[in-house]
């Protein structure tokens, strides 16, 4: 039996659907849906039961001999969240408790880290364990993810097989409930169809022209394939980058939307919100040699192909 946290979220939903496609249905989905409409993300999916995230540890103890692995995607993923204590409890303490359970029961543990841990990238984007301690996140969210990575690397008692996955900029279907944290592709597609223009941030950095900020954008299907690869026990335990290895500009994402949507649209540059100034990543690019060494050889979709697939599946 598989525990999947964050199952009604963007990445969790896509993982759940891929597991179902592979005829894996013995899944306990964990989230905190309450009175939101996130339940719609689970509609049509196959799983054994839903457990609220606050009840999961009680559930684990009652069913400890039935569980084979935990895929931990649940977290507060807001890069603009300022409450350190809230982030620490959700992104560090909660993950530590799951880790300790997996260690006691000697089961596999896959968890989501983040490229936000790399900060401005002044120390590169290398996922070797020796380099992780050198990183300087520039927002509290990234710092919370970084703290758990550091904690995991220090542990003497570990799950049977464990991997932490530093996700770069993910985009694709089922971002409907991400709000301000939705990808530029998701927001841009909606803007193109509803407003006729795609809004991109002006640059506050003289090294980058407007829209020429560069990120490693990874399409969700490619990311999910990597998660499933490690879920199946491939590669050595450790922390891995999950990105394409090729940075692309926000203008390329905007141009891909324009090229693939069936409406007239233009790019419009807007002022960067004050809350992002000083905590904005202008460049990210995953080093993926370690990922490749694990045996993951899938090709990645770059902006035009990924956005085209996304528009084909988009739920307006």
Under 8 Å between Cβ of 6 and 14: no
Under 8 Å between Cβ of 242 and 292: no
Residue 75 corresponds to which tokens in the numbers above?
């977290």
Kindly give the pairing relationship between strand 169-171 and strand 217-219: parallel
Under 8 Å between Cβ of 147 and 88: yes
Q: What residues are annotated to the active site?
A: 141, 178
Give the separation between CA 225 and CA 120, rounded to whole angstroms.
27
Under 8 Å between Cβ of 183 and 171: yes
Under 8 Å between Cβ of 284 and 169: yes
Beta carbons within 10 angstroms of residue 43's beta carbon: 7
């Amino acid at each position: 039996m598989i525990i999947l946290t964050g199952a009604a979220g963007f990445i969790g939903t896509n993982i759940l659907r891929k597991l179902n496609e592979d005829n894996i249905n013995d899944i306990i989905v964990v989230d905190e849906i309450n009175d939101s409409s996130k339940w719609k993300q689970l509609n049509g999916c196959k799983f054994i039961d839903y457990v609220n995230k606050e009840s999961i540890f009680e559930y684990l103890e009652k069913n400890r001999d039935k569980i084979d692995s935990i895929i931990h995607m649940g977290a507060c993923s807001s890069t603009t969240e300022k409450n350190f204590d809230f982030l620490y409890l959700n992104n560090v303490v909660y993950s530590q408790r799951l880790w300790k359970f997996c260690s006691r029961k000697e089961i596999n543990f896959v968890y989501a880290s983040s490229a936000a841990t790399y900060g401005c990238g002044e120390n590169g984007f290398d996922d070797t364990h020796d380099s992780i301690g050198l990183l300087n996140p520039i927002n509290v969210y990234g710092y919370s993810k970084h703290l758990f990575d550091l904690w995991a690397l220090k542990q003497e008692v570990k799950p049977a097989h464990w991997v932490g996955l530093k996700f770069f900029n993910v985009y694709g279907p089922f971002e409907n409930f991400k709000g301000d944290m939705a990808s530029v592709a998701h927001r841009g597609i909606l803007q193109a169809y509803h407003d006729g223009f795609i809004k991109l941030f002006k640059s506050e950095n003289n090294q980058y022209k407007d829209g020429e900020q560069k990120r490693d954008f990874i399409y969700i299907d490619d990311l999910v394939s990597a998660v499933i690869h490690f879920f199946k026990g491939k590669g050595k335990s450790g922390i891995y980058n999950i990105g394409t290895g090729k940075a692309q500009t926000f203008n390329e994402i905007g141009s891909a939307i324009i090229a693939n949507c069936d409406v007239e649209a233009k790019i419009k540059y807007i002022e960067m919100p004050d809350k992002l100034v000083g905590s904005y990543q202008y460049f990210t690019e995953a080093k993926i040699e370690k990922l490749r060494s694990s045996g993951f050889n899938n090709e990645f979709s770059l902006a035009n192909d990924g956005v085209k697939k996304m528009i084909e599946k988009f739920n307006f």
